[in-house]
Amino acid sequence: MFNSQKKRIIIPIIGVLILMIGFIAAYVSMSTSSLLDNFTNAKMSATAQAVRAHLELHERQTFIAASAMAGSPELIRRINEGDIEEIWLYTANRKEALMAEAIVITNHEGIVLARSHMQGFYGDDASRVPSVAAGLRGESRTLYTPTPTSPMVMATSAPIMDGGRLIGSVVVNFNVGNDFLDKLNSIFGVDVTIFAGDTSVASTLIHPATGQRAVGTAVAPNVAVAVLERGESLTMELNIFGVLPYLAYFFPLHGAGSEPAGMFFLGLPLEGTIAASNAQQLNIIIIGIFFLVIVTLVMFYVVHTISKPLENNRPN
């Protein structure tokens, strides 16, 4: 009789405890997951701001370099003298100091007078190149554009003025290719990809199947619409190569036209966050089971201790 009475006392209590522990475990698990998500989102937001500030710093550096070149009396004199060799020497000697991939000098019609990276390659019409065209319009401007030697560069133009007379343009190109992305990866701890249009042209991501950098792949259509067509920044979770979970941030790279010339991708791996969340949930389950076992044993002991005198006092 008392054994069945013990069961009637203990089983409901254990059931209530299981429900309470399950509720607490679920609440703690959701709270922990939410905290981890908030932390990851905050980290991505801070990283995105830092990377964009880093890009803006390079944009200012190329702007200063182009402006300084355009205002150089020595360069102006050499352009007026028409000495092609001296113009090339002047740009080539300053390329490394300005940390430029290339410096291009044209006359007022857009005819190339010198390319710092290609001696002897001049005389062609570059007036339709967006960066050159901006300089010939009297604009000092930074834009992103592909070139024949690089899939994407940060190009800053400046008009070369002799008094009030336009005599040419200077364009300073900074390569935003793999070497630059590798530096960003080492500084900020995120994977980075540059897209020209909707196609990747430089990346720190390594394809697990080929072991090569993930270039030549198109971004998802919904991302292209948001970033390239609407010019928006976009944060989302995605699986890269179908297996690697990332928190991704895309933002546009503006070119000469109304639509962006490409986009920048930052990827924060979520493997650590997911592993931490799973480990936390496992810990909660283990603690819950341990607590349930201890409480159950205590309940059996208490009920047994209380019921034993009653059993001894039962009439025979």
Q: Is the pTM of this model over 0.85?
A: no
Digit-coded pLDDT (tens) for 24-43: 666 666 665 665 566 677 88
Closest CA to 170 of 189, 186, 156: 156
pLDDT above 70 for 128: yes
Which residue reads 């002991």 in tokens? 301
Q: How many domains does the chain have?
A: 2
* pLDDT attached to residue 237: 84
Q: What average pLDDT does the segment 79-96 reach?
A: 91
The verdict on 92 and 184 lying in the same domain is: no
Q: In which domain, by residue range, is 107 found?
A: 60-175
Show the tokens assigned to 107.
Answer: 């006359």
**First and final CA of the chain: distance in angstroms?**
14
pLDDT above 60 for 74: yes
In a domain, 41, yes or no: no
- The band of 172, judged by pLDDT with boundaries at 50, 70 and 90, is very high
The verdict on 200 and 248 lying in the same domain is: yes
Show the tokens assigned to 64.
Answer: 């200063």
- The band of 268, judged by pLDDT with boundaries at 50, 70 and 90, is confident
- The band of 214, judged by pLDDT with boundaries at 50, 70 and 90, is confident
The verdict on 161 and 82 lying in the same domain is: yes
Long-range Cβ contact pairs of 104-107 (< 8 A, separation 24 or more): 104/132, 104/170, 104/171, 104/173, 105/75, 105/79, 105/160, 105/168, 105/169, 105/170, 106/132, 106/135, 106/136, 106/168, 106/169, 106/171, 107/79, 107/167, 107/168
CB 115 within 8 A of CB 95: no
> Which of 269, 284, 299 delimits the end of a domain?
269
Residue with the bigger pLDDT between 186 and 17: it is 186
